Amino acid sequence: MVLGSYSDKDFDALYPLKMRKLSGTHWTPVGIAMKAISFFENSGCNSVLDLGSGVGKFCLIAADSSSIRISGIEQRENLVQLARKIAVNHQLSNLEFIHGDLISLDLSDFDGFYFFNSFEENINSKDSLDRQSTLSSIQHENYINALREKFDALPIKTRIVTYCGEASEIPESYRLVQQSHKGRLRFWEKQI
Ligand SMILES: C[S@@+](CC[C@H](N)C(=O)[O-])C[C@H]1O[C@@H](n2cnc3c(N)ncnc32)[C@H](O)[C@@H]1O
């Protein structure tokens, strides 16, 4: 059975209990991942990056449902290892997980990006992922500004999907082309 047809409950059962419990707050619902990947496919994207890929839920569903090259970058090594293990178990060859800080990555290899409010942990301690989380509004602002600059430097037609958050990391050079889920899921395209 393809991962995109799993219920969230069945998909989350791939993870240890501790990670399963975090799903409602931190991991993308299956239906949202399917909508995002269909936007990237219809836009002709070749290579999509999940910025802050967590346990890999978006990436795993996307890679199993499409032939697009899918990558995820995640700062927590234990989450990267978990995501890689599930990718191997499902023989997903169009998928890679990178361990690192997303702000240090060169984004020019990608023409589509998925961003599920990854910097929220810097300003909101609710359901924190682990004890590594420390609150800092300055850090939050620095991250948002740095990502906005990186997005702004990318070529015309670059696509971004944002899920939740204020989308303040999206520069004015992008146009909102579509939205759903009461504006929580937004689809962007670089215009200039
Ligand atoms: C809300 S979760 C989303 C996970 C995944 N994208 C999904 O949709 O299922 C955000 C993730 O971003 C990661 N993250 C936050 N800041 C990061 C950074 N600067 N570099 C890499 N990962 C980061 C967190 O560790 C967390 O796993």
pLDDT for 14-68, tens place per residue?
999 999 999 999 999 999 999 999 999 999 999 999 999 999 999 999 999 999 9
Q: Is the dihedral of CA 119, 93, 108, 48 positive or negative?
A: negative
Q: Is the CB of 50 within 6 Å of ligand 1?
A: yes
Distance 116 CA to ligand 1 centre (A): 7
Residue of the CA atom closest to atom 10 of ligand 1: 118
**Residue-number span of the structural domain to which 156 is assigned:** 3-190
Q: Is the CB of 26 within 6 Å of ligand 1?
A: yes
Distance 137 CA to ligand 1 centre (A): 17
Contact 67, 93 (CB under 8 A): no
Instruction: Give the position, in ligand 1's atom list, of the atom nearest the Cα of 27.
Output: 9
Inter-CA distances, 117 with 7, 44, 70, Å: 22, 24, 19
Distance 56 CA to ligand 1 centre (A): 9
We report the CATH number of the domain holding residue 113 as 3.40.50.150
Q: Ligand 1 pocket test: pick from 74, 124, 163, 181 the residue with the most ligand atoms within 8 Å of its Cβ.
A: 74
Q: How many domains does the chain have?
A: 1
pLDDT at 155 over 80: yes
As a whole number, the mean pLDDT across the chain is 96
Average pLDDT over residues 139-156: 97
Nearest to 169 by CA among 140, 139, 136, 147: 147
185: left (phi over 0), alpha (psi -120 to 50) or beta: beta
- The CA distance from 188 to 113, in Å, is 10
